[in-house]
Structure 1
Amino acid sequence: MEPPRPTDPESAPLPQSPDSGTPDTLQPAGHATLEVVVEEGSPRPQLPIEHDPPGYSALQVVYAEQEKVTSAEARVCDDNSPQVFYDDNRPEVFDNPDKFLAIEDAEGLEVGQSEGDVLPEAVVTTPKPVPWYKDWKSRPFWVLAVIVVAVITVAVVVGAVVGIRNTSRSSRPGSSATRQSACAGTICPQILTASVLGLNTSADNEKKVFIFARGDGALYFNWAQVDTITSDSGWPAGRTWQPLLGGGPFISQPMAISWTAGARLTVAAVIIDESKNNQDFVAGNTFHVDANGLNGFSIDDWKPLGGPVGSSLISCTLNSTRADYYAVGGTKMLQNLSFRNGTPDMWKHPDQLGIDEWDLGYEFGYKVKTRPAVLCRPSFWVHDMITYDDKGAVRHAMWGFQINSSWSDLYNLGGNFTGEPTAVATGSDRLDFFGIGANDSAMYHFTWTQTDNYTALQSLGGSFHSAASAVVTEQGSLPASRIDVVALGIDDHIHHRVMKGTEWVLDWEDLGVVGNSAPLVFNYGSVAPERVGVFVVGYDGSVNHATWTVSSEPSWKNLTWKSMQGDMLTEFYNIV
């Protein structure tokens, strides 16, 4: 839509000067005054927000239309180069003002003409500007120099940011002084994922932590042996991000899961399948423990996991031979897909469904507004699924042998939530939920146990624009279990809180780390000492990381943060 144009040159309000509180004024005569005619549809120039320094002079911009002529004001440098400030407040500088008139309007009229009127041609009516070497000591010279440097800096930073395909998905902003978070105005889902290959081995030097992210349409991974990651040194130096070749281009954040007793690690993401009418399908790739492979592992080729889907995947594993994947269907109905290791093609369902088919043995019958959170608790082969219905209420369903190997109804726990839910299990008979309120951006929590059922929804306060990430340590009896939860605050800082047993022992603390994505906390599965990784994508696309060695100290303020480098995307795939 075209911005409103003033009907009178005097009607355009001038900005307030930040130092004087009075309106800025144009400089007196003696500097360049230039009249420039622009065609219909061009935006009315804006004055810069900053206080106007000396050394500028007037530029009159005249709009040529068929019936009327209106004007607005802008600025000109003393070298006669007009600076026109558009809506983004960045100047476009034309070093040849007279060339700026070489435009024709939609009716083919020469610019400077309208029906029944002939406007005077633009002329520069000023003496030559003072040479810089005679005026270099003046305040205007230095102020103007600072402005030019700032403009060049902004242009370089903005030009370096690459926009990519966004399906209600946000992109990474530049790191300018007025940078805006990728999570601003929305609730960022988790875009990072991590898992451990060799999880069930007893030695930390045989376990490998993999973290996955998406960059430039491809999936990238970085890995390290668990015993080499410490609180002080962080991620081992020299580890670089490697692309997962083939597959893609990927349009969703990845999902990774370790299964088959830790001998396999599968990563999956959504692609656009041109052979399926450009619908969104899923592709997966598997890492294997391989003593003969480079670095002790090998990687399969990409394989189709079926579809179509309307969300990214979430998964959990029940035992050593089964992994379960969940997605939201194209109709916004929840769908479940199971794969087992027992057929020649590990990607086929045990009932030998085709590899392009989802197991629709159970469709939950509820439309949802988000990808679910899922858990696989070891007791009785229990699945838990938590999601938000289309009205924002949180719902919980369970599957297990004790309920005849079927899904329960989605129990309505109320509330009004936005973003994606988060759930963790502290043991076989307890789960904890974390979600962001749609009305106040605060975090909410409930606990379910086999004996006490559900606690009431509890506000934990705070103000967030990312989904939560939670990790359980000291697993075992209820009083000993500890849950650490993090999320990105609306200040773009990572905030952290701690629950031990059933009591919150630490209020929200600001970790002092700026992020541009939902943070991820992940238990490395280390034997001794137990360690947890914290990951977040920064404004420059690099992944920043810290490691916490489990202790009785609740605070994480003394974590040592280091960059893992990278150039990752912060756009994300929401329900479509």
Structure 2
Amino acid sequence: MIIAVAVAGFIVIATAVGPISPSNGDDEAVKPEIPTGKSICANAPCLEALAAVVDAPDAHPEQATVHLFARRRADGMLVQTSSASPGVYHSRNWTERGGPIAGPGPSAIIWQAPTYPNEVQGGGAVVTVLGISASAASSGDIFLRHIGQGGAGTAGAPISFKYRIEMLGVPATCAIQQEQRFDFWVQARNGSDADGSATLYHQLSANGAWFYDGRWETDVVLQTSPSRPAAIASRPGLLCRNGRWKAWEQHLVVYDGDGAAWHRQWMQEPGPSQWGPWESLGGKYAKGTYPVLVETTAGSFQFFGLGSDEQMYSMTWTSAQGFGNRTTLGGGAFASVPAVAVSQGSGSERVDVVAVSKDDGRLKHKAIGLGVSMDEQWEDLGIVSNSAPTLAKVGLASMDIFTTAVDGSIWYAPARLSDMGRSGWGNLTWAPIQGL
């Protein structure tokens, strides 16, 4: 018997882990079987195909709405569905948001938009979703759409900035809430470059206006540094952190042409505001993948990456000491970039890591304790996946997990955590979000 009570805004369950049954609005239908077969990730490392953002009330984060974005396989159009209530996603409830966009999928960010002087969708919480345009007239441009809380958002359209560049991957995004801005970065190549090498291009919207007047900023790569990556060979891992007072930080991690990781940090304090030098983190990471960063405390974050040896690796950064040693997470060989998120409960925190196993193509999960001891074993989540997973943190101790099955359909499972001393999620119940 499972007994649940509400404590401090989240659910505490008498058993160690409380997976709940998902609902897609088809309660009268026969429970569908999870598709089986061989994962395409065995051929080349899989990337994230879905994007999820969480719109949570400050007073009741467990009542958050999750907005999920995908690329429709039939025509490449961008589509969205949202949770009807925590852990509930109705099938055949997808809304088209424009396009087409190139694969594998979009990226998305939720940020606090201004109301004055340049209003964006009425101000307040706005979701911005981005992809690479796949239309013949604007192939390679950024496709961007703002979606306000109360409406369909501005008309989605490709945005051509003043320097024509060839996009090489989905944009990476982050938000500085106190600045009413969001940033995005792309790995791209300028056709006019003699050597055709890729670099990082940066754009930001602050107070509703494009900061660089429609131009791309590339100084982060070109600024003086004792050393730097010879080439940018990955989408950047990106993290924005609010600092003391009105100060903030931005961290970039990229892979170079040899697969080594590099880090660079924007520091707003102590002044003057500037990029620090490039820092080599070494290692050798899998071609075609990208770093994943997650903030763990006010003064630290973790970097996760898939090695060229198919092992999963992690490094911890702290404001006091910088990066520590690189460690392997065990679990055998993997075949996707990881999805990571921080959960909290019982006064402790943990990082949950999910990735596709190379051996059987199934999603595997591991929890890494932050200030609490865990067995930290990888567990099988019960589904063969054709994409890297996507995690949406709902409240302090809840998670919705999304992935694409071997037939291309989209599936999800909610997990509710309680006893932070135990790492497993238990037997999750998966359900499809039909209609694509």
Q: Which residue of 2 aligns with 1:469?
A: 339
Instruction: Specify whether residues 185 and 332 from structure 1 end up closer, same or farther in structure 2 by C-alpha distance, changes over 3 A only.
Output: same
Distance in 2 (alpha carbons) for counterparts of 1:534 and 1:560: 11
Distance in 2 (alpha carbons) for counterparts of 1:204 and 1:363: 38
1:359 paired to 2:217: yes
- The CA deviation string for residues 484-503 of structure 1, in whole angstroms up to 9 with x for no partner, is 00100011111111111166
1:263 paired to 2:125: yes
Q: Would you tell me which structure has more helix in proportion to its own residues?
A: 1
Aligned-residue Cα RMSD (Å) equals: 2.5
Q: Is the 8 A contact 1:393 1:415 kept in 2?
A: yes
- The CA deviation string for residues 163-200 of structure 1, in whole angstroms up to 9 with x for no partner, is xxxxxxxxxxxx78xx5422122111111110124x35
Q: CA deviation at 1:248?
A: 2.3
Q: Which has the larger radius of gyration?
A: 1
Distance in 2 (alpha carbons) for counterparts of 1:249 and 1:455: 39
Distance in 2 (alpha carbons) for counterparts of 1:498 and 1:335: 34
Q: CA deviation at 1:201?
A: 4.2
TM-score normalized with structure 1 length: 0.59
Q: Is the 8 A contact 2:341 2:352 kept in 1?
A: yes
Q: Which residue of 2 aligns with 1:209?
A: 66
Distance in 2 (alpha carbons) for counterparts of 1:513 and 1:542: 12
Q: CA deviation at 1:399?
A: 0.6
Q: Which residue of 2 aligns with 1:302?
A: 156
Q: Which residue of 2 aligns with 1:571?
A: none
Could you tell me which amino acid in structure 1 is paired with residue 187 of structure 2?
V
1:554 paired to 2:423: yes
1:372 paired to 2:232: no
Match of residue 149, structure 2, among 275, 278, 289: 289
Distance in 1 (alpha carbons) for counterparts of 2:267 and 2:46: 31
Q: Is the 8 A contact 1:270 1:282 kept in 2?
A: yes
Distance in 2 (alpha carbons) for counterparts of 1:301 and 1:315: 20
Instruction: Specify whether residues 251 and 543 from structure 1 end up closer, same or farther in structure 2 by C-alpha distance, changes over 3 A only.
Output: closer
Match of residue 485, structure 1, among 328, 338, 353: 353
Match of residue 206, structure 2, among 312, 327, 340: 340
Q: Is the 8 A contact 1:422 1:435 kept in 2?
A: yes
1:349 paired to 2:214: no
Could you tell me which amino acid in structure 1 is paired with residue 147 of structure 2?
F
Distance in 2 (alpha carbons) for counterparts of 1:252 and 1:436: 18
Alignment of 1:144-155 (within 5 A): none
Q: Is the 8 A contact 1:273 1:281 kept in 2?
A: no
Q: Which residue of 1 aligns with 2:106?
A: 254
Could you tell me which amino acid in structure 1 is paired with residue 275 of structure 2?
W
Q: Which residue of 2 aligns with 1:509?
A: 379
Could you tell me which amino acid in structure 1 is paired with residue 291 of structure 2?
P
The share of aligned pairs that are identical, in percent, is 28
Q: Is the 8 A contact 2:382 2:428 kept in 1?
A: no
Report how many aligned residue pairs link the two structures.
Answer: 361
Could you tell me which amino acid in structure 2 is paired with residue 381 of structure 1?
W
* 2:375 partner SS: strand
* 1:363 partner SS: helix
* 1:299 partner SS: coil
Q: Is the 8 A contact 1:252 1:270 kept in 2?
A: no
Q: Which residue of 1 aligns with 2:194?
A: none
Distance in 1 (alpha carbons) for counterparts of 2:274 and 2:387: 36
TM-score normalized with structure 2 length: 0.76
* 1:512 partner SS: strand
Higher relative contact order, chain-length normalized (CA < 8 Å, sep 6+): 2
Distance in 2 (alpha carbons) for counterparts of 1:275 and 1:517: 29
Structure 1 stretches lacking a partner, 5+ long: 1-174, 291-296, 568-576
Distance in 2 (alpha carbons) for counterparts of 1:337 and 1:236: 33
Q: Is the 8 A contact 2:92 2:434 kept in 1?
A: no
* 1:298 partner SS: coil
Q: Is the 8 A contact 1:196 1:265 kept in 2?
A: no
Q: Is the 8 A contact 2:51 2:69 kept in 1?
A: yes
Q: CA deviation at 1:392?
A: 0.5
Q: Is the 8 A contact 1:396 1:410 kept in 2?
A: yes
Q: CA deviation at 1:473?
A: 1.6
Alignment of 1:327-476 (within 5 A): 327-330=186-189, 331-341=197-207, 346=208, 348-351=209-212, 353-354=213-214, 357-364=215-222, 366=229, 367-379=231-243, 380-402=247-269, 404-418=272-286, 419-438=289-308, 440-461=309-330, 462-474=332-344
Instruction: Specify whether residues 434 and 249 from structure 1 end up closer, same or farther in structure 2 by C-alpha distance, changes over 3 A only.
Output: closer
Q: Is the 8 A contact 1:336 1:363 kept in 2?
A: no
Q: Would you tell me which structure has more strand in proportion to its own residues?
A: 2
Match of residue 184, structure 2, among 322, 325, 338: 325
Q: Is the 8 A contact 1:427 1:475 kept in 2?
A: no
Distance in 2 (alpha carbons) for counterparts of 1:512 and 1:471: 20
Q: Which residue of 2 aligns with 1:42?
A: none
Instruction: Specify whether residues 447 and 236 from structure 1 end up closer, same or farther in structure 2 by C-alpha distance, changes over 3 A only.
Output: same
Q: CA deviation at 1:274?
A: 4.5
* 2:43 partner SS: coil
Instruction: Specify whether residues 551 and 475 from structure 1 end up closer, same or farther in structure 2 by C-alpha distance, changes over 3 A only.
Output: closer
Q: CA deviation at 1:204?
A: 5.6
Distance in 2 (alpha carbons) for counterparts of 1:566 and 1:338: 34
Distance in 2 (alpha carbons) for counterparts of 1:300 and 1:250: 20
